[in-house]
Chain A
Amino acid sequence: MTNDRPSEERLEQLREKAWKNGVVAGRGVDVAGGPIPRKPGYYGEPVVRPPVWTREIGLYFFIGGIGGMSAVIASVAILFHHLDLIRAAMWLAAIATILSPILLIMDLGRPRLFLNMLRVFKHQSAMSMGAWILSGFGTCTVPALIAVELHFHHVFGGTMGQLVRIAAGIFIFGSALFGMLLATYTGVLIGATVIPAWFLHRVLLPIHFGTAGLGSAAAWLELIGHRIPALNAIGYYAATVETALLFWLSINKHGTADRAIHEHGSGWLIRIGEILNGPLALILRLFGLVPFAAISFLIGALVSRFGWIAVGRVSGADPEAVFAAERL
């Protein structure tokens, strides 16, 4: 009551301002919506839809990548007669081939209809191709593991033993063939969409996902005790490629169109992931701290997969990014 005068003056001021400008900005008041909306697009509503995928998908990208590339390592290990490594790698691939469909089915809106994925074969749908690649991978990996175990435990002798050995070889090569596609197609899956931050990096994504898969497979095998120079060399290769991709991503910027990669929480996830599986893993390996390098790479590979999903959510909900990408 004692402060009557100043507040009346303030109201007069506001009235004056309203009359002059047609709009009054103030704390706690969103003037963007009126009288003429100033948000980009239609009241800032998203132009394309952000992905509805849940966190199972990020985990699937990670596990599928490890499994697929383990089979590749196993197939090469055959040529160099590393039987222990073949066994370990095929176990890894087999576990991945069981977990991957479970994660994918959990992510479906109607999990009971998951078999409809195999109703058609559509080369123009990366999702359809992925379903078939995963099916092929499972079809080769499980018999491959059984054959490897039969061979390892010398269950059969003579001709039968020879046949088992040959079967193991064939199935492992089949598994490697599907495996290398399983680890890389995920980049195509999200690269060939309408989400600006994804499709603008559709060439980088398969390289990143595939290489992160290879490095993760090698890192995992190292952590469970296979400390051999060949896996160390793969570790160097993967960390070097990931470091190069980190540079590529920081040079190949598209401004507003892919700002989700460089701003927001999603940008931080990408950055943290890429540093962990790129430069940090490389430095740790140079210092001979192989287990730490392996752990750093694995965490980085996992974080960046979640990062790319988060980027899709941010970028898809950003109308300005869509407009900017179409003007590029």
Chain B
Amino acid sequence: MIGEGIQSSNQRRHSFVKDHVEVGFFTDPSVCIGCKACEVACKEWNHVPDDGFTWSGNSYDNTGHLGASTWRHVMFLEQDRQKGNQVVGAHSLGDGDGEDPFRWVFLSDVCKHCEDAGCLEACPTGAIVRTEVGSVLVQNDVCNGCGYCVVSCPFGVIDRRPEPLPDAGGAFKCTFCYDRQKSGLVPACAKVCPTESIVFGRLDDLRVRGAERVRQLQQKGYTDAQLYDPTETSVRGIHAFFLILGEPEAYGLPPKPQVPTIYLKSAWTSAFATAIGSFIATLLAFAFFS
């Protein structure tokens, strides 16, 4: 819990890989301070190249979105809504009576490590695998850069790294710091998070903790606090889930993400029917016009 300091699960060694325990990230924007330590730690530990030094003009977010070279991304949302019981003062824009709600929300986005992962299903080389801890991992030396995972991820996370960056051509995304986890270490982003907005731990523990945090926030007046964990759709839940204030759309999160394998049945039926139909049409054409 918050305030646990070095006693927290973010700072303890573990043996989840050895014990085959499902792990997860719980990311809570209500305590995020937007410091971007997670982005920096991720880049430094994993040797991820820069995202291109562009200035977006979108609040303090110049990272933009997750991608081949962006595995953690701190979002900066500016909304005309109240944050909990927070009252905005008379100095804000508007008529000056304090009735001008405004809030700034930060959320550190990451690969969701889906229960039913579109990228993993789509990968034709077997480069993308499921690890002992339930995370989804791209094996860089196997990936041949076909790009099919890119259009199969319902969250737009995985992407192909363009030239001239190092390791260009392959698909990249968050590894859940699998290398660190194998050594009993916590993922770099969770390790550095100063407010424990990112919490790493056993998935079942985190789910309980997330639900508890939502209850706590709602009691404190954050009436629009909810968990973002699409267990009801074909994705069947995510290993890196979030607490969000307001609607998922505002965070660029799909409200009802679907794993694209659910479309296979109707598409293949159509393909087989067309194949047989074309053969029969050709047969008839020759039979009647020869």
Q: Footprint of B on A, CB under 8 Å?
A: 22, 33-37, 40-43, 45-53, 69, 72-73, 75-77, 79-80, 107-111, 113-114, 116-117, 119-120, 122, 124-128, 130-131, 176, 180-181, 183-185, 187-195, 198-199, 202-207, 209-211, 213-214, 228-234, 237, 312, 316, 319, 322-323, 326-327
Expressed in whole angstroms, the minimum distance between the Cβ of A129 and any Cβ of chain B is 8
| B146 lies within 8 A of A109 (CB) | yes
Expressed in whole angstroms, the minimum distance between the Cβ of A45 and any Cβ of chain B is 5
| B281 lies within 8 A of A122 (CB) | no
Interface flag for B80 (CB, 8 Å): yes
Cα A212 to Cα B260 in complex, Å, equals 25
Known contacts A181-B275, A234-B282; A125/B93 CB under 8 A: no
| A53 lies within 8 A of B252 (CB) | no
Expressed in whole angstroms, the minimum distance between the Cβ of A108 and any Cβ of chain B is 5
Residues of B within 8 A of A48 (CB): 151, 153-156, 254
Cα A15 to Cα B89 in complex, Å, equals 21
Interface 9-mer from B2-10, B115-123, B174-182, B209-217: B115-123
Known contacts A36-B80, A230-B290, A316-B151; A128/B279 CB under 8 A: no
| A233 lies within 8 A of B250 (CB) | no
User: Which secondary structure characterizes the binding site on chain A?
Assistant: helix
Q: Footprint of A on B, CB under 8 Å?
A: 56-59, 61, 64-65, 67, 75, 77-80, 93-94, 102, 118, 121-127, 142-148, 150-161, 168-171, 249-258, 260-261, 263-264, 266-279, 281-290
- With A47-B252, A180-B279, A194-B154 already in contact, 13 other A-B pairs whose C-beta atoms are closer than 8 Å: A45-B64, A48-B151, A48-B153, A79-B283, A108-B147, A109-B146, A127-B146, A130-B124, A183-B275, A188-B267, A188-B268, A194-B118, A194-B151
Expressed in whole angstroms, the minimum distance between the Cβ of B60 and any Cβ of chain A is 12
Cα A109 to Cα B275 in complex, Å, equals 31
Cα A190 to Cα B147 in complex, Å, equals 12
| B144 lies within 8 A of A117 (CB) | yes
Expressed in whole angstroms, the minimum distance between the Cβ of B206 and any Cβ of chain A is 24
| B124 lies within 8 A of A120 (CB) | yes
| B270 lies within 8 A of A49 (CB) | no
Known contacts A233-B288, A323-B249; A52/B147 CB under 8 A: yes
| B78 lies within 8 A of A37 (CB) | yes
Expressed in whole angstroms, the minimum distance between the Cβ of B234 and any Cβ of chain A is 11
Question: Can you list 19 A-B contacts (CB < 8 A)?
Answer: A33-B58, A34-B57, A37-B59, A40-B249, A46-B156, A72-B279, A76-B283, A76-B286, A109-B169, A124-B121, A126-B264, A176-B279, A188-B264, A192-B264, A203-B269, A204-B270, A214-B278, A229-B289, A233-B284
| A51 lies within 8 A of B281 (CB) | no
| A36 lies within 8 A of B286 (CB) | no
Cα A205 to Cα B273 in complex, Å, equals 12
Of all chain A residues, which has the CB nearest B67?
Answer: A49
CB-CB nearest 5 A-B residue pairs: A109-B145, A109-B169, A42-B252, A113-B144, A180-B275
Known contacts A52-B160, A110-B169, A124-B264; A42/B75 CB under 8 A: yes
| B144 lies within 8 A of A214 (CB) | no
Residues of B within 8 A of A233 (CB): 284-285, 288-289
Of all chain A residues, which has the CB nearest B251?
Answer: A42
| B144 lies within 8 A of A207 (CB) | no
